[in-house]
Structure 1
Amino acid sequence: MGLLRVMMPPKLQLLALLAFAVAMFFLENQIQKLEESRGKLERAIARHEVREIEQRHTQDGLRERASAASAPPDADDDLVVIYNRVPKTASTSFTNIAYDLCGRNRYHVLHINTTKNNPVMSIQDQVRFVKNVTEWREMKPAFYHGHVSFLDFTKFGVKKKPIYVNVIRDPIERLVSYYYFLRFGDDYRPGLRRRKQGDKKTFDECVSAGGSDCAPEKLWLQIPFFCGHYSECWNVGSQWALEQAKYNLVNEYMLVGVTEELEDFVMMLEAALPRFFKGATDLYKTGKKSHLRKTSEKKPPTKESIAKLQQSAIWKMENEFYEFALEQFQFVRAHAVREKDGELYLLAQNFFYEKIYPKN
């Protein structure tokens, strides 16, 4: 550069300096633009990466929510108990316990009210009922009760069946109670007019006169209720119905109690199904309305009336079923409850696990 200054005239030297300065300015400007472009590119890449991360998080969240929505509900929240109550077996007394506890234990109680108390559903109503019980999630967990005969859910392709419970009673005592209930009602709704109101004839007088309301055929009720929705179940005196009722009692019902030992039944249900019956035993013992329903004007039948009914084949079959249920209930109770100083108490857990492999 020094040599050029010597050889070049001053004007040319000035022009050369100006040209060099312009070139350097242009070069610096281009470099600055390149730096700005690189910064923009880096920011664009960073924003793209952030969006990708956000999208992954969103997709993960959606997958987690979808997985949670499709996951099965908690087992206790999906429980359904059906009590297909036999008339005049303390069914209202037991059902009132369920109503008293439903708010506290967080479940729903639904009464199955059939037209004219018909215990047999039409095939279309069977389908509707099964669909309601299995798919009506807003009502779960649920306790259904009503005078409906046993319904086999497996016939409708249901994988998870409801839990059945029930209570039965000595057949003659049940019939006597029902006879007077139709005439005088009970202390639960004393003002309600009953179907036979005004008929003052006693049960003994009915038996002596061979009346239809106390006929042996009227004993045929607990067997068909447990037998179910087969035509043979309702053929009075059917041996097949008796055997089917026994089969259902031990295979389809979690627990069947007897009216005469209702407190034990309530206690065992509380132990087995605390989601529904936690607090039921204390309520049964101390509640003001749970177990106070009594048929009005009921007179115990004479030995003669009882003996006459016991001569019938229908009584023998109904009594056989009752004795079968009683023996099964007492067997279950013997392995669940003990008595000490006049008080009943539940046995503690009597099994445990050992030899668990593989070792951690």
Structure 2
Amino acid sequence: MFFSHSSSTFCLRILLTCLVACSIISMVNIFTILQKKQFNRSMATMNIDESEPIDDDIKTKQDFVKNSSAHRLVIPPVTMATVAPNHGNNRSWCKEKILRGLDHVIVYNAVPKTGSRTISSLARELFGHRNRRGKSIFIPYELYRDEVNLRAFYKKHKTGPRLMRGHSFYTPMSGKQYTYINIIRDPVERYISHLYYSWYGDSNNMEKKAGIETNNIDECVLTGQCHPTGYLPFFCGFHPNCSDSSNRWSLDQAVSNLDNFLVVGLTEEMDDTIRVLQKLLPDVFKGISSAYKRNAKKMKKSYTTVVKKPPLNQTVQKLREVMSQTYEFYDIVKRRFHDLKKCLEVE
């Protein structure tokens, strides 16, 4: 009985202390849970996969594809803003694209049969053989469809001026020294040229043969022996969806990537394309217009497909249907190129 009153007071204090501590712990747990839920909602909104490591060692091609940022990007659909950017009253917007100096590594992931050999030949004359102020390099054939080793190849060439040319898909590289250019052509005309080139070659190589039974383009297309595709992967990239030129996503991605190219010219306007290249890279491509004028006839004779017969109208129609999205891309590039020419006063 002597300790009853003090013991009761002591026990009450202990009980109150425990209740306060439990309340604090509960509040902390509730706050933590709410924070995690808010974080998850934010991650879902940003389209980020928490399961993917942020900083990992990419050791295999599969790891690279799995962790490629292109596989997580949500590409905006094509709009008038992407088709023809509105520069407002800024009549000198193109001046911001001009790159001075020689330290530029020009990546030319050329679309076949659009004039790429013409550009590389002119580059070799300018700085490959004559005055040793640069190099013209061919991208190895075995790297055309190998994104991991293609990137490694690009990284070996960090100093300019260099022109790296090959029929590889678009592969973005970090570093301001990398500059992308390309040239495209009317999709049907390009496909016809490419097909006959695979059958007959040109003046430099007349022994090429395609693994197709016929060498008649109408029979080849209308009977389904030929499987024409456009050139969207050269601008879309290595994402699996890029290989399907009928996939709307591939068109949207290709158009989105146009902003990463200094210029995409036109085979049908090769004179102006070369003049634009000289305007945008005045130090690297100094004299390229003059070199083209001197060598145009000789190069055309060497690089023109030796046999090319005009197809039937129904063949052309079928090709246009199959490559409808490539035509949409072609029209977008043409409009942009004409805007650039006008701004650079190349008419």
Q: What is the TM-score normalised by the length of structure 1?
A: 0.63
Q: Check the 8 A contact 2:147/2:238 in 1, yes or no.
A: no
| 2:254 equivalent among 236, 245, 252 | 245
Cα offset, 1:281, TM superposition: 1.2
The aligned residue for residue 187 of structure 2 is: 171
The aligned residue for residue 219 of structure 1 is: 229
The aligned residue for residue 270 of structure 2 is: 262
Indicate yes or no: 2:106 matched with 1:81.
yes
RMSD value, Cα: 2.2
Cα offset, 1:111, TM superposition: 0.5
Cα offset, 1:142, TM superposition: 1.0
C-alpha distance after superposition, 1:104-144 (max 9, x if no partner): 472111100222xx632242x1441242132xx4xx32111
Q: Check the 8 A contact 1:105/1:275 in 2, yes or no.
A: no
Higher Cα radius of gyration: 1
Cα offset, 1:309, TM superposition: 2.2
Cα offset, 1:219, TM superposition: 2.1
Unaligned runs of 5+ in 1: 1-74, 340-360
Q: In structure 1, what is the Cα distance between the partners aligned to 2:213 and 2:290?
A: 39
Q: Check the 8 A contact 2:147/2:171 in 1, yes or no.
A: no
Indicate yes or no: 2:324 matched with 1:310.
no
Indicate yes or no: 2:136 matched with 1:109.
yes
Q: Check the 8 A contact 2:184/2:330 in 1, yes or no.
A: yes
Matched to 1:275, the amino acid is D
Q: In structure 2, what is the Cα distance between the partners aligned to 1:197 and 1:128?
A: 32
Residues 161 and 232 of structure 1: CA distance in aligned 2, closer, same or farther (over 3 Å): farther
C-alpha distance after superposition, 1:214-260 (max 9, x if no partner): x3xx223x1111011222211342211111111111x1000110110
Within a 5 Å distance, the mapping from 1:22-171 to structure 2 comes to 76-102=101-127, 103-104=130-131, 106-115=133-142, 119-123=144-148, 125-134=149-158, 137=159, 140-153=160-173, 158-171=174-187
Q: Check the 8 A contact 1:105/1:278 in 2, yes or no.
A: no
Matched to 2:319, the amino acid is L
Q: Check the 8 A contact 1:94/1:290 in 2, yes or no.
A: no
Matched to 1:237, the amino acid is S
Unaligned runs of 5+ in 2: 1-99
Matched to 1:202, the amino acid is N
Q: In structure 2, what is the Cα distance between the partners aligned to 1:197 and 1:122?
A: 26
Moved beyond 3 Å, runs of 4+: 197-200, 288-292
Indicate yes or no: 2:344 matched with 1:336.
yes
Q: In structure 2, what is the Cα distance between the partners aligned to 1:303 and 1:145?
A: 34
The aligned residue for residue 327 of structure 2 is: 319
Cα offset, 1:307, TM superposition: 1.4
The aligned residue for residue 3 of structure 1 is: none
**Number of aligned residues:** 245
Residues 290 and 101 of structure 1: CA distance in aligned 2, closer, same or farther (over 3 Å): farther
The aligned residue for residue 184 of structure 1 is: 200
Q: Check the 8 A contact 1:89/1:168 in 2, yes or no.
A: yes
Matched to 2:201, the amino acid is G
The aligned residue for residue 286 of structure 2 is: 278
**3-state secondary structure, aligned to 1:317:** helix
Q: In structure 1, what is the Cα distance between the partners aligned to 2:175 and 2:288?
A: 30
**3-state secondary structure, aligned to 1:277:** coil
Matched to 1:168, the amino acid is I
Residues 228 and 197 of structure 1: CA distance in aligned 2, closer, same or farther (over 3 Å): closer
Q: In structure 1, what is the Cα distance between the partners aligned to 2:346 and 2:185?
A: 23
The aligned residue for residue 202 of structure 1 is: 216
Indicate yes or no: 2:296 matched with 1:296.
no
Matched to 2:190, the amino acid is R
Percent identity over the alignment is 31
**3-state secondary structure, aligned to 1:78:** coil
Matched to 1:180, the amino acid is Y
Residues 333 and 196 of structure 1: CA distance in aligned 2, closer, same or farther (over 3 Å): same
